[in-house]
Structure 1
Amino acid sequence: MEAVFLIIALALVLMVFAPVAPSDRARTPLRLRLARQLHLWDRYVYHDPQIWYPRD
């Protein structure tokens, strides 16, 4: 289970530092990008029935 959390944390860190906007636009603050990514992960984990009720 710890390995899963480690992989998720690594993915979050890599996504935060990935360039997501053209260079002429202002950068989104790191705190806001983290909040958005955590919200996406939360929606994926808690609202995907395949995670909680996988079919064999």
Structure 2
Amino acid sequence: MNEAADDPAVLTDRTAALLRAIEAHLQELLRLSTTYVNKEALARDFARRILAECERRPR
């Protein structure tokens, strides 16, 4: 994998905004989760949120 792609200084504004949105979704999921977490359901919900965020943003 290209190490430059992981460097925040190299990220485009669009990529950085998408990463912030994904992080916000993850924080929300973790905040809403209870002591017992169905990890499969959590992962599915998070994946759906990522997909929805990607589809919502123009290419």
Q: Which TM bucket (shorter chain)?
A: 0.3 to 0.5
Higher alpha-carbon Rg: 1
Normalising by structure 2, what TM-score? 0.46
Higher relative contact order, chain-length normalized (CA < 8 Å, sep 6+): 2
Normalising by structure 1, what TM-score? 0.47
